[in-house]
Amino acid sequence: MRVHSLRLVAVSAALVLAACGNDSPTSTIDTTSTARGTLIEDPPLRIASLDAPTLNAELMASAAGQQLLLVAGAPACGVDFNYFHYWTVGGMNETATASGALMVPTGGAGCTGARPIVLYAHGTDTNKNLNLADITDPTNSEGALIAAMFAAQGYIVVAPNYAGYDTSSLDYHPFLNGDQQSKDMIDALTAARQALGHVLASTTTDSGKLFITGYSQGGYVAMATHKAMQAAGMTVTASAPMSGPYALEAFGDFVFLGHVNLGSTIFTPMITTSYQRSYGNIYAATTDVFEAAYAPTIEGLLPSTMTVDSIIGNGLLPQLELFNSNTPGNGDASSGSALLDAYLAEPSDPNDPNTPLFRLGFGTSNLIKNSYRIAYVADLAANPDGAVPQTNLLPAAAPANSLRQAFKTNDLRSWTPAAPVLMCGGAGDPVVFFPVNTLLMQAYWQNYAPQLPPGVVTVLDVASAITGPNDPFLLAKGGFAQAEAAIDAGAGGGAAGFQARVSSYHSTVAPFCSAAARGFFGLF
Amino acid sequence: MKNTKILAGVGLLLVCGAGSAMAADAIHGNEIRLGLYIVQYDAHADDITGPFVPKGLNVNVKNVNTAYVAYVRRLSPNFVLELAAGVPPKTETTGKGPAMLGSVPFDGQVISTAKWFAPTLLLNYVFLDESSAWRPYFGVGANYTKFYDRQSTAAGNAANGGPTSISLTSSLGPAATLGVRWHLQDRWSLYASYSYSVVRSNLVANTAGVLRRTHIDFNPTTLVLSVGFAF
């Protein structure tokens, strides 16, 4: 869902004719420390300052903005959009810079003074130039979403762009590397806290309450960050991971068994590049994994300054076809095992409504070689994940495939929260499957953390039925249902309506889960 | 207030000296002139470029008055060398463009002040002979402008997005003047002149490491009213 297009706003850049002769501009970059969490420019640049009426007017200027306001509510506060840089690390703990947004609420009571912080992790973005602080960029829909949903309602928002994006010194993005990404989040938070009190809206301060949330990739990162901060003894008031791939090994195995998710041809090279650069053992050469048409340029392809359409149009990635439709033993040479050949076959269950979706992931312009898929699936057969098929719900004890090892390393079936967690998503999500991630995490904690008091973990499926007038998530569920109906009707209903709903499902969930997260945070 | 006093002083001298020009006064080789500089800018700047800069952002410069001081050396009956300078004026820069940047006022806001040290060296040709009470002249030369003592205003910081440091290159350009001298008596004369200088500069603003740039033609024209004392 492209939430918005704030058109105007670039504050800044009034070149001031106040002169210093021939002096060169002095950089405010702090070169004295590259320690994690160090704020590089203090105070950071404020890109824009919008009071509540102006923010409201800007959002009202577009249809997407109007929809967002319906979910988020009218802004109660103005928002200052600050753009900061900080020191963090890469996937190998190498020193790196990164940037982020520090959105500071402004205005009257409830906006200034001591305010809670929302630490937000963004979703997968192929745009290397992503800058959530740049509210002047009409493509920055996620920045607008979190501004309207949280900052305009009195929350200080800290949202890193992640190492590997924007002006980061890192030449790759450690995608779904839980250790690195949680460090990145913590470092952004540390730097942003340094900036508070120094930024132009200096009367808004940190109350000490910290909420963590994020969507999709960011849902994973939010949970990994909660885990890391809890382990480090840092305060987390509550978290709300949304639509995240938490159980990475189970999710990966499920996909390699043929249940191909939408977006998999984008996610796969981001994952392999990340883990190859972090661990160095995913492949000896990209041709070990990828078909020859894609292998030469696949490493480091994403994130990119090219659009996804251009990348696909230039033949650098297939649009949907992750696996070869000539599967081993069925159009291609057998794996040598009838069982594996059966595992590797295209899904054909007529009773599974997702079968047509899964089959979109097969074709002859496929990304991943059959040979690699055979090797992966052979390992999952030999060292099965306890959730695929469902047995003990735990990751495999000792996977042999290096990608599965990386998945296990980053799988979040490895902790138990002490502070409240709301996991939100949609049961029909075709991008990040809800059952093998959200419901699996819930089942994992139910089975392996029975000491967890009731209420610490809450699961919300926004596509579930409203339980009654007292349903605490009535508005999120009702809003999502209305949005789905509108998308269906907009596409003319029928098969076209179904297709429209499926293709937009993942992004349609986002604002409703975000609204639920805000309501959840408001309890503390 | 200071400029008003100078103007009043010039006016007083005009009254006191009226009709008392003496053609037979002695010739002196040096002269000091004091008076009033009325500086008008017709600034033209490129729209500002750089990260997070909306289209159509520009700047303007407010006119300024300041004290004028010059040393003049007689080279011949018709040529003099004039080294003119003003007490460096505090010049105000205003935003030019949209009324608001988000919720921050911009257009017409004084976003900074700066001082200019801008000496001009002119070779003047003075018409008529030295016994004439009225002597028109013209001159050509060069202006050097150095900018210093920047003060970014709160409005400027708000518009720029934070505390801002500025680099503004010094300018060296041609200058020309037209004027007239009225010899009062003995060592005293009154002058009025109109001058133009080419003053151009490249400006780079640095806010939290983010650089924005423009090129400015200030196009200053100056009206000078002064009194000279020869020695």
User: Which of A6, A9, A17, A131 is most worth mutating to test chain B (most B CB atoms within 10 A of its CB)?
Assistant: A17
A498 has pLDDT over 90: yes
Q: Model confidence at B25, in pLDDT bands (50, 70, 90)?
A: low
Does the beta carbon of B91 lie under 8 angstroms from any beta carbon of chain A?
yes
Three-state SS string over B3-31 comes to HHHHHHHHHHHHHHHCCCCCCCCCCCCEE
Does the beta carbon of B211 lie under 8 angstroms from any beta carbon of chain A?
yes
Q: How far apart are CA B70 and CA A295, in angstroms?
A: 75
* Cα angle A216-A218-A222, degrees, rounded to a multiple of 5: 125
Whose CA is closest to A119, among A50, A37, A8, A5? A37
Q: How much is the pTM?
A: 0.90
B49 has pLDDT over 80: yes
For chains A and B, CB pairs below 8 A equal: 183
C-alpha dihedral, A199 to A514 to A308 to A93, nearest 10°: 60
- Spell out where A308-430 has E strands: 323-324, 327-328, 331-332, 362-363, 421-425
Q: What does the radius of gyration of chain A's CA atoms come to, in whole angstroms? A: 23
Whose CA is closest to B161, among A133, A12, A198? A12
Strand order, beta sheet including A421-425? A45-50, A78-89, A95-106, A156-160, A113-121, A204-215, A238-242, A421-425, A457-461
C-alpha dihedral, A168 to A510 to A464 to A392, nearest 10°: 0
Q: For residue B77, how many other CB atoms are within 10 A of its CB?
A: 12
DSSP A75-114: -SSEEEEEEEEEEEE-TTS-EEEEEEEEEEEESSTTTSEE
Count of all residues that appear for chain B in the document: 231
Residue of A nearest to B93 (CA): A17
Please give the DSSP secondary-structure letter assigned to residue A466: P
Three-state secondary structure call for residue A126: coil
* ipTM of the modeled complex: 0.83
Host H or E run for residue A135 = none
Contact B161 A78 (CB under 8 A): no
Whose CA is closest to B86, among B72, B73, B102, B67? B67
Contact B160 A12 (CB under 8 A): yes
* Cα angle A476-A147-A63, degrees, rounded to a multiple of 5: 70
Q: For residue B218, how many other CB atoms are within 10 A of its CB?
A: 23
pLDDT of residue A23: 34
Host H or E run for residue A330 = none
A282 has pLDDT over 60: yes
pLDDT of residue A12: 32
B13 has pLDDT over 80: no
Q: Which residue has the tokens 């720029």?
A: B160
Region B118-123: what's the mean pLDDT?
97
Three-state SS string over chain B comes to CHHHHHHHHHHHHHHHHCCCCCCCCCCCCEEEEEEEEEEEECCEECCCECCCCCCCCEEEECCEEEEEEEEEEECCCCEEEEEEEECCCEEEEEEECCCEECCEECECCEEEEEEEECCEEEEEEECCCCCCCEEEEEEEEEEEEEEEEEEECHHHHHHHCCCEEEEECCEEEEEEEEEEEEEEECCEEEEEEEEEECCEEEEEEEECCEEEEEEEECCEEEEEEEEEEEC
Region B178-199: what's the mean pLDDT?
96
How many Å separate Cα B76 from the centre of its chain? Answer: 27
Q: In sequence order, what are the residues at sequence separation of 6 or more whose Cβ sits closer than 8 angstroms to the Cβ of residue A35?
A: A87
Q: In sequence order, what are the residues at sequence separation of 6 or more whose Cβ sits closer than 8 angstroms to the Cβ of residue A147?
A: A55, A79, A81, A103, A135, A157
Q: What does the radius of gyration of chain B's CA atoms come to, in whole angstroms? A: 21
A16 has pLDDT over 80: no
pLDDT of residue B11: 35
What are the pLDDT digits (tens) for A136-193? Answer: 999 999 999 999 999 999 999 999 999 999 999 999 999 999 999 999 999 999 999 9
b/e per residue, B55-75, with b = 16+ CB within 10 A? eebbbbbeebbbbbbbebebe
Q: In sequence order, what are the residues at sequence separation of 6 or more whose Cβ sits closer than 8 angstroms to the Cβ of residue A505?
A: A426, A428, A429, A430, A431, A484
Name the residue with higher pLDDT: A12 or A54.
A54
Least confidently predicted of A6-15, A103-112, B113-122 = A6-15
Q: In sequence order, what are the residues at sequence separation of 6 or more whose Cβ sits closer than 8 angstroms to the Cβ of residue B104?
A: A11, A49, B158, B159
User: Which of B41, B48, B52 is most worth mutating to test chain A (most A CB atoms within 10 A of its CB)?
Assistant: B52
Q: Model confidence at B149, in pLDDT bands (50, 70, 90)?
A: confident
Please give the DSSP secondary-structure letter assigned to residue A390: B
A8 has pLDDT over 70: no
Whose CA is closest to A294, among A275, A266, A256? A266
Instruction: Write the residue in A15, A26, A49 that is nearest to B203 by C-beta.
Output: A15
Please list every residue in chain A whose beta carbon sits closer than 8 Å to the beta carbon of residue B160. 12-16
Residue B204 amino acid letter = V
pLDDT of residue A84: 97
A428 has pLDDT over 60: yes
Q: How far apart are CA A378 and CA A183, in angstroms?
A: 34
Side-chain-side CA neighbours of B148 within 13 Å: the count stands at: 6
A20 has pLDDT over 70: no
Region A310-314: what's the mean pLDDT?
97
A14 has pLDDT over 90: no
Name the residue with higher pLDDT: A36 or A454.
A36
Q: Do the strands A323-324 and A204-215 form a parallel or antiparallel pair, or are they unpaired?
A: unpaired
Contact A12 B157 (CB under 8 A): no
Q: How far apart are CA A481 and CA A462, in angstroms?
A: 8
Region A283-302: what's the mean pLDDT?
97
Average pLDDT along chain A? 93
Please give the DSSP secondary-structure letter assigned to residue A26: P
Please list every residue in chain A whose beta carbon sits closer than 8 Å to the beta carbon of residue B100. 54
Region A19-46: what's the mean pLDDT?
67
Q: Model confidence at A6, in pLDDT bands (50, 70, 90)?
A: very low
Q: Model confidence at B150, in pLDDT bands (50, 70, 90)?
A: confident
B5 has pLDDT over 80: no
Region B163-179: what's the mean pLDDT?
94
pLDDT of residue A133: 98
pLDDT of residue B22: 39
pLDDT of residue A17: 27
A21 has pLDDT over 80: no
Three-state secondary structure call for residue A382: helix
Chain A contacts in chain B segment 37-56 (CB below 8 A): 48, 50, 52-54
pLDDT of residue A30: 52
pLDDT of residue A10: 30
A381 has pLDDT over 60: yes
Name the residue with higher pLDDT: B17 or A375.
A375
Three-state secondary structure call for residue A320: coil
Contact B167 A51 (CB under 8 A): no
Distances (CA, A) of A381 to A59, A268, A330, A331, A334: 51, 21, 19, 22, 16
Does the beta carbon of B207 lie under 8 angstroms from any beta carbon of chain A?
yes
